[in-house]
Chains A and B, each alone.
Chain A
Amino acid sequence: MLIGLTDFADELREIGIPVSMVEVLDAADALRHVDLGDRVAVHAALAATMVKNARHQDAFDLAYDVFFGLRPAPVASQPSDIGSPTAQTQQASGGGANPSDISDLFEALVGALAAGDQSAVSALARQAVDRLSGFQPGRPVGGRYYLYRVMHRLDVDRLRGRLVEGMADVGDDDDLAGRLAVETANRQIERFRSQVEAEILRRLVDDRGPEAVSQTLRQPLVEDLDLMHATREELAQISHRIAPLARKLASRMSARRRRGHHGRLDVRRTIRRSLAHGGALVDPQWKPRRINKPELVLLCDVSGSMATFARFTMQLTYAIGHQFSNVRAFSFIDGIDEVTRFFGPGEDFDDAMLRMAQEASLIRQDGHSDYGAALKRFCDEFFDAVTPRSTVIVTGDARNNYRSTGEDVLARIGDRARALLWINPEAKRYWDTGDSVMSRYSPLCDGVFEVRTLRQLERFVERVALSRVKGLVPQP
């Protein structure tokens, strides 16, 4: 067991979940107190001691299933179903299982789901995998493929329809009831789907061994997802993480404001005071602390090449807008417009995105990024937004479609602002390739950061929060 545990810890570290030596010892300690035959108990014991971050929970659960959860597979309880020659041949011959076959499964499933009978549902999941997945040992396909085959053959839409129908006879016919029935059906189907997924996983592990399966299933953690190419679901996950980051940024910046009661030594007043003590400097005087209210000015490239990232930066803008009072946000493509009003407190994010697209004048020419034109317009119309107290953050890939770069204008902004920072969502090695003109801008900025993942954004936030004075932003 102990050896299994250290292997498991290695696997977790491989995925990117930090597990310290002490935590492995704690896990071993915890295991002494639980019944090792009890899956839930063992899972809880390991999860509580080895995962200290809710974000890593899903990755942990998957790794756990692969490593421990599924080893004592209930195959033993139904030896006749799985792995036996008849089942094999049945799978092989009936790859396209005839429709009458499915209908009895379908009916049984509708019944079991509607009744909420867990054990029946998992038994049916096993059957469904047997009959519909066309599982072939040794074939190098991922679990997703089998899952898709099973769910597709079962016809999920029809299943949902039947489940909803079954619930409708409760008696009422208002809209809400219908809607709730659909939601309930979705939940039931989801439950079945996860059972099927677990069953497929179990067979994959039986077939190839946990290490190999774990390797193929390994997915980047949320904080390591590439923001430029994130899918919609991944973006949703990411967005949950943004609000805490904005809060952190806000609390770090305001904490610095609060800390310490007074500012620098007031030499003139101290010497003046010393006259009363015969010239001894016993009573130092301090200058009142200058209150440093952080101001943020965000300039976000929201052009096509930045589409996914733009959604993310606007989300960040939105989150920051709820934390700082002194934020002004601007979006640009080849035109630029202030979008602060859309993202203020109390606005819904999706509405804000829609309104930004409809109401803000971001496009003046052809809708391709033009940093030169956008920066110039910014200076013409909104230059008063930048003050010596403001931190200006530009987010963009600096892909300028070979147009004017507007370096002189950016330099003006940089001179005026407390700090000028640039976030580039592209990998550093792509900077200055093609139409990217990053190196023209970087000397003008106090800091240039590659931010492709949440982890990098977190690091950026740390740095910005730490930077006090212009020019002191530590370079990465």
Chain B
Amino acid sequence: MADWTDASSIEASLRDAGYLADARTAQVVYLAEQLGKPILAEGPAGVGKTALALAVAQATGRRLVRLQCYEGLDEGKALYEWNYHKQLLRLQTDEGRRWDELEGDIFTEDFLLQRPLLDAIRSPEPVVLLIDEVDRVEVETEALLLEVLDAFQVTIPELGTMTARTRPFVVLTSNNSRELSEALKRRCLFLHIGYPTVERERDILLTRVPELPEEMAKRVAEVVAAIRNVAVRKAPSVSESIDWARTLLALAVQHVDGQITADTLHVLLKYQADIDKVSRELELQPAEG
């Protein structure tokens, strides 16, 4: 990250990685790097929270370690686990030795299965650690992350405390399905990523779908913005507007009018009720039949 001297250089290098960060995002990434604090990115689905971590990894050439959270995630899946089978084999080959010798043998790093968090900490070269959808784990499991995020260390009772060899760049993402604990929030830099402005969405479309003519990218961004203004259950995300742009290209559409929008609305909206409502509000006429 030698060239990450200020926010604008970060913006440029993320742009090279195909991620258009706004000034605020770039600034927070810069601070996270300077302060060595994790970023907690929050916002609706599909606005590029996960993509931010991917882009940082790509821009810095670091390895990405990903921990996908889900309800019921536990230590064994997040931190480390002892490799029981290997330990058992070791015991069997060593029959006849004294226990205290053996015990020292089988609880060593050789028998440790590293899970993402430990992996990120023990990696010899710095990595980008992505903890995805952290709001899915239970409050109790959150506590597990605290030690890692705070001191970048993991305590294994049999081995002692393992501290980070290098400091990982950490990104946590949350869809805000529940309130995260104060303790976790306090340790992070908070970054809310919302829907982009029309201009930025146009630029994103042009970056991600290079074949798209500029005029059409602007149109797509405007239509999507108009749809987001309608109170729908699931507003179209950036990734969905990219899908839509690709669809329009595949259909060799020259000009986006009401008709073609109505016919392809299902790419943007995932509920029939939403589709009906948007067609009504924007006065789109679908093709007959």
Chain A contact residues, CB within 8 Å of chain B: 18, 20, 22-23, 26, 29-30, 33-35, 40-41, 43-45, 47-49, 51-54, 57, 172, 174-177, 179-180, 183-184, 187, 236, 244, 247-248, 251, 255, 346-351
Does B201 sit at the interface, judged by CB under 8 A? no
Interface pair A33/B34, CB less than 8 Å apart: yes
- B27: contacting residue among A22, A45, A248, CB under 8 A: A45
- A47: contacting residue among B7, B190, B231, B273, CB under 8 A: B190
Give the Cβ gap from B138 to chain A, nearest Cβ, in Å: 7
- A176: contacting residue among B27, B229, B261, CB under 8 A: B261
- A48: contacting residue among B191, B223, B271, B274, CB under 8 A: B191
Chain B contact residues, CB within 8 Å of chain A: 6-7, 23-24, 27-28, 30-31, 34-35, 37, 40, 42-43, 71, 138, 176-179, 182, 185-186, 188-192, 198, 219, 222-223, 225-226, 229, 231, 233, 255-258, 261, 271-274, 276-277, 282-285
- A30: contacting residue among B35, B222, B257, CB under 8 A: B35
Interface pair B28/A48, CB less than 8 Å apart: yes
Interface pair A350/B192, CB less than 8 Å apart: no
Interface pair A247/B42, CB less than 8 Å apart: no
Interface pair B189/A48, CB less than 8 Å apart: yes
Interface pair A40/B24, CB less than 8 Å apart: yes
CA distance A53 to B174 in the complex (A): 11
- B23: contacting residue among A26, A33, A40, A351, CB under 8 A: A40
A183-B225, A350-B231 are known contacts. Are A44 and B28 too (CB-CB below 8 A)? yes
Minimum-distance CB pairs A-B, first 6: A44-B27, A52-B185, A176-B258, A348-B273, A48-B189, A33-B34
CA distance A184 to B177 in the complex (A): 32
Give the Cβ gap from A57 to chain B, nearest Cβ, in Å: 6
CA distance A202 to B222 in the complex (A): 32
CA distance A44 to B193 in the complex (A): 13
Give the Cβ gap from A42 to chain B, nearest Cβ, in Å: 9
Q: Which residue of B lies closest to A177 (CB)?
A: B257
Interface pair A41/B272, CB less than 8 Å apart: no
A40-B27, A183-B222, A183-B225 are known contacts. Are A172 and B257 too (CB-CB below 8 A)? yes
A40-B24, A44-B31, A176-B257 are known contacts. Are A54 and B273 too (CB-CB below 8 A)? no
CA distance A251 to B31 in the complex (A): 35
Can you offer 14 A-B residue contacts whose CB atoms are under 8 A? A20-B182, A40-B24, A44-B28, A48-B31, A53-B185, A54-B42, A57-B192, A176-B258, A180-B223, A251-B71, A255-B138, A348-B273, A348-B277, A351-B273
- A49: contacting residue among B182, B189, B271, CB under 8 A: B189
Given contacts A18-B182, A43-B24, A248-B177, 20 further A-B contacts (CB under 8 A): A30-B35, A33-B34, A33-B35, A35-B6, A40-B24, A40-B27, A54-B43, A174-B258, A175-B283, A177-B257, A179-B226, A179-B282, A180-B219, A183-B229, A236-B231, A244-B176, A244-B177, A247-B177, A251-B71, A346-B273
Interface pair B35/A175, CB less than 8 Å apart: no
Interface pair A51/B190, CB less than 8 Å apart: yes
Interface pair B35/A176, CB less than 8 Å apart: no
**Residues in chain A near residue B37, CB distance under 8 A:** 26
A45-B31, A175-B258, A348-B274 are known contacts. Are A251 and B178 too (CB-CB below 8 A)? yes
Interface pair B189/A247, CB less than 8 Å apart: no
Q: Which residue of A lies closest to B229 (CB)?
A: A183
**Residues in chain B near residue A47, CB distance under 8 A:** 24, 190
Interface pair A22/B186, CB less than 8 Å apart: yes
Interface pair A33/B31, CB less than 8 Å apart: yes
**Residues in chain A near residue B256, CB distance under 8 A:** 176
Q: Which residue of B lies closest to A183 (CB)?
A: B226
- Name which of B190, B223, B256, B282 has the most chain A CB atoms within 10 A of its CB: B190
**Residues in chain B near residue A349, CB distance under 8 A:** 231, 233
**Residues in chain A near residue B40, CB distance under 8 A:** 52
A44-B23, A44-B31, A179-B283 are known contacts. Are A346 and B178 too (CB-CB below 8 A)? no
CA distance A397 to B238 in the complex (A): 43
Q: Which residue of A lies closest to B40 (CB)?
A: A52
**Residues in chain A near residue B285, CB distance under 8 A:** 175
Q: Which residue of B lies closest to A23 (CB)?
A: B186
Interface pair A30/B233, CB less than 8 Å apart: no
Give the Cβ gap from B30 to chain A, nearest Cβ, in Å: 8
CA distance A54 to B180 in the complex (A): 12
Q: Which residue of B lies closest to A255 (CB)?
A: B138
**Residues in chain B near residue A49, CB distance under 8 A:** 31, 189-190
